[in-house]
Structure 1
Amino acid sequence: MLSIRRRILKNSVSLLRCSSTRIVTPPNTFTTAVKTAEKLVQPQSSKIFDDPFSIVSHEMSNLAKSIANLIGSGHPILNRVSSYYFEAEGKNVRPLIVLLLSKALSNIPVEQRNRIEIDTHDVTDQYHFKGTPGSKETIAGKSVDDSISPLAILHGINPKVILDPLSKPMDKLPQFDAMNGILPKQRRLAEIVEMIHTASLLHDDVIDLSDSRRGRPSGNIAFTNKMAVLAGDFLLGRASVAIARLRNPEVIELLSTTIANLVEGEFMQLKNTVMSQSDTIVNDGEKKTIPEPTGKVPTKQHEYSISRPEDVDHITNVNAAFEYYLHKTYLKTASLMSKSSRAAAVLSGSQDDIIENCYEFGRNLGLCFQIVDDMLDYTSSDAAFGKPSQADLKLGLATAPILFAWKEEPKLGELIARKFKEPGDVEIARRAVEKYGGLDQTRLMAEDYCHKALTNLRCLPESDARSALELLTNSVLTRNK
């Protein structure tokens, strides 16, 4: 193990240079790390592997195929739309994190992972060999491929007539799975996470009027807005069934909440309530006044709502805007990473302190990831980014770079409040970001979350999987798409 870690460190040192305040790495480290990860995981019994990501290559290489077995329907066009984004080359960061974290958790001694009883369908030969208790029936009880309700009830049709896509057995686990340590339910968790994320992409591209995704026409352009929305809904429905079949109430609660978080985050982005008390929103160029509540259902103003910038000291408004921005970022991006990381730890049977650190790791990494994404929106070309760049200001979004500039230039509050809708607003904002070093300050913020995520990982035993997670975490800062 020590020799492996030395070789990993030797290979990594040319890629990563860390200091107390800044990490300097080649601009394509993230892309290299992810592509390497996708090749990934077949530990060779007779060779020491140089690539730390190779420990999950089987799972990653079969990810799209496994998801296809989960999302099939009886309608060919629906199948085409719902699988459209899985065909393209994506980063697959979220399932990669789940798989690597699951592998890292397996290095915790079994006797220290007894918070829940791992049911017999979760036990690979590794755990049988180590003497994990397993004969007792638990609340989990059955495989992730077994339905809970009768198939005739689920389909409203004779199940012999239509094959339930969610009842197809998993691919046979490779021979080395016994030493790989990733549980079947953790593998399914990784697939579910990618399904939820992809559904959100289909919906986001409709909402944001996007025309490209992953280097080709976005779903709404390739098919239509209606089909893209329905395909996203279908993916969430299929994901929800797969979530239920994990048969762990805590994990079901976590993953179901991520779906609600995505919607709430999108609403926070849709209406910039941090800057206005107005009930008027602008979307797709159309002004819409929200109907007054009748009082039959209690509603309350969002906690982050503040006064107009001219009414309050602008630093107070800037601070509130940052709180709003970070909470929105958590809901839209970090929630899925953090809750899925926590779910992987729960399924491993780990103790509460490990579970909490896994959650914080996912939260800090997710915030870092999106903050870097917001920075790239100012600096990357469409071709490099894989989707329209320089779009946030055009959509009226106040992200970290412009918020840092606003701290130095109070008049920018007026542009933010009107969501950069007046002629020349976008250009003024971009010049201000450059003048006041908004991008440099944004990078420092991302680095802070990166370092916090690395600290969270130290709760796990040293292993190749942890090294891979550390490398991936560092490389988030240097990605260019």
Structure 2
Amino acid sequence: MISTTSFFTPVENDLHLLTDNLKRLVGARHPILGAAAEHLFDAGGKRIRPAIVLLVSRATMLDLEITSRHRRLAEITEMIHTASLVHDDVVDEAALRRNVPTVNSLFDNRIAVLAGDFLFAQSSWYLANLDNLQVVKLLSEVIRDFAEGEIFQGINRFDTSLTLEAYLDKSYYKTASLMANSSKSAAILSDASAEVIDSLYNYGKYLGLAFQIVDDILDFTSPTEVLGKPSGSDLISGNITAPALFAMEETPYLETLIQREFSEEGDIDKALSIISESQGIERSQELAAYHGQLALKQLACLKPSPYSQSLTDIVDYVLSRLY
């Protein structure tokens, strides 16, 4: 498996700067938020989203130094992502993320909701200060997409009529929108051509979809200590993802188990074994690989450089998490 450090190498210094800056930007205002921020930005996150922004920035500014606006965009991207995780954990009532206690379990739900709101608000303020209306529109859309994805997931719990298309739409809202629109924004700040800007939006979109599908597979295949949460926890909470969708096509009895919300003893174990014995995992792997290939094709618009190579490596890394 490819390690994250190898493709971060070209932007390693940028990422160190980013982490220090984030703690300063968020922590200065209030001790509790400072403690939450310190905890969030130290929680062992992979920094993939800001790394993509920085790599796209450098890949589209080859002969020039990236600007302070590129750097700020990477910070805003990580802030938005972190805010969404804080809210996600409250909605999911999660006690751990990446094996680290969540903000809601350390403080309480009220503080966690407010910390998430604060991060969204703080990111919006820095966004407005970029003075680029196009970028403001793109990243405001991301914040709206997050909420839409969460609401969609919340009202469609245990709904076995969910289609693959609706699942991919939700995956776009929850994961791919941020990668797509922040990549596009980085290219806009570099004054790239319209063609390059569109390609990099699509790169982020397809990469984000592959990333979410892989995450949904790992929810079934990874042991708890790797995931930092119980195996199959998405399904148990009624969130139906690609492996379950494919397994239901093969074994309609899975629908019955989901529709009755695993209310009878042994339902969850039955459901998990139906999925593991079906083609669900395999077909989901193919779906992830398909989106990964689409992401790679989009990079043809970039001149060869260590940065474009790293953007290629990220796709391989995302898919290699499965093996």
Query: 2: CA distance between counterparts of 1:95 and 1:183?
Result: 15
Structure 1 Cα separation of the partners of residues 69 and 264 of structure 2: 51
Q: 1:369-420: per-residue Cα shift (whole Å, max 9, x none)?
A: 0100000011112221234432111111111111111111223233334444
Partner of 1:57: 12
User: Is 1:354 aligned with 2:238?
Assistant: no
1:213-253 per-residue CA deviation (whole Å, 9 max, x = no partner) reads: 12221111111111111111111111011000110000000
Aligned amino acid, residue 479 of structure 1? R
Aligned counterpart, 1:253 = 137
CA distance in 2 between counterparts of 1:245 and 1:64 reads 20
Match of 1:233 in 2: 117
Q: Indicate how the Cα distance of structure 1 residues 60 and 73 shifts in structure 2: closer, same or farther if over 3 A, else same.
A: closer
Kindly provide the amino acid, as one letter, of the partner of residue 121 in structure 2.
Answer: G
Report the residue type matching 1:395 in the other structure: S
Specify the structure having the higher radius of gyration (Cα): 1
Q: How does 1:42-441 map to 2 (within 5 A)?
A: 53-107=8-62, 127=64, 181-272=65-156, 275=159, 317=161, 321-441=163-283
Q: 1:94 offset after TM fit, Å?
A: 0.3
**Is the contact between residue 397 and residue 419 of structure 1 (CA under 8 Å) also seen in structure 2?**
no
Q: Which residue of 2 aligns with 1:36?
A: 6
2:253 and 2:304 mapped to 1: Cα distance?
50
Which string of whole-angstrom CA distances, capped at 9 and with x for unpartnered residues, describes residues 187-234 of structure 1? Answer: 111110000111111111111011111222111111111111111111
Residue 335 of structure 1: how far off its partner (Å): 0.6
Could you say if the C-alpha distance between residues 458 and 411 of structure 1 is closer, same or farther in structure 2, counting changes exceeding 3 Å? same
- C-alpha distance in 1 between matches for 2:281 and 2:250: 14
Could you list the per-position Cα deviations for residues 162-192 of structure 1 after superposition, in whole angstroms to 9, with x for gaps in the alignment? Answer: xxxxxxxxxxxxxxxxxxx322211111110
Question: Deviation at 1:57?
Answer: 1.2
Q: Which amino acid aligns with 1:224?
A: D
Match of 1:445 in 2: 287
Aligned residues: CA RMSD: 1.9
Identify, as 1 or 2, the structure richer in helix: 2
Q: Deviations over 1:297-321 (max 9, x none)?
A: xxxxxxxxxxxx7xxxxxxx5xx52
Kindly state the Cα deviation for residue 421 of structure 1 after the two structures are TM-superposed.
Answer: 4.2
Name the residue aligned to 1:168. Answer: none
For 2:244 and 2:91, how far apart are their aligned partners in 1?
A: 22
Give 1:71's aligned amino acid: V
- The one-letter code of the counterpart of 2:19 is A
Query: Matches of 1:219 and 1:209 in 2, distance apart?
Result: 11
Q: Distance in 2 between matches of 1:66 and 1:217?
A: 23
Structure 2 letter corresponding to 1:400: A
Letter in 2 for 1:378: F
Q: Which amino acid is 1:323 matched to? A: E
CA 397–356 in structure 1, closer or farther in 2 if over 3 Å, else same: same
- CA-to-aligned-CA distance 1:53-81 (integer Å, 9 cap, x gap): 42211111122111122213442122212
Query: Does the 8 A contact of 2:158 with 2:261 survive in 1?
Result: no
Over residues 18-51 of structure 1, what are the superposed CA-to-partner deviations in whole Å (9 max), with x where a residue is unaligned?
xxxxxxxxxx32xx1x1334xxxxxxxxxxxxxx
Residue identity matched to 2:133: P
By how many angstroms is 1:447 displaced?
Answer: 0.4
Displacement of 1:462:
1.3
Contact 2:157 2:240 in 1 (8 A): no
Q: CA deviation at 1:273?
A: 7.3
Contact 2:187 2:200 in 1 (8 A): yes
Deviations 1:246-275 (A, max 9, x none): 100000000011111001100111111794
Residue 95 of structure 1 deviates from its aligned partner by 0.3
Give me the whole-angstrom Cα distance separating, in 1, the residues matched to 2:202 and 2:261: 32
1:338-376: CA deviations, max 9, x gaps?
Answer: 111111111111121111111110000000001000000
Q: Compute the TM-score of the two structures, normalised by the length of structure 1.
A: 0.64
**CA distance in structure 2 between the aligned counterparts of 1:389 and 1:347, rounded to whole angstroms:** 41
State the SS of the aligned residue for 1:412: helix
CA distance in 2, matches of 1:89, 1:273: 30
* Paired letter, 1:232: G
- Kindly tell me: are residues 189 and 465 of structure 1, through their superposed partners in 2, closer, same or farther at Cα, counting changes over 3 Å? same
Secondary structure in 2 aligned to 1:64?
Answer: helix
Cα distance in structure 1, aligned partners of 2:166 and 2:157: 9
**Code of the aligned partner of 2:227:** F
**Which residue in the other structure is 2:316 paired with?**
474
Residues 421 and 349 of structure 1, relative CA distance in 2, 3 Å threshold: farther
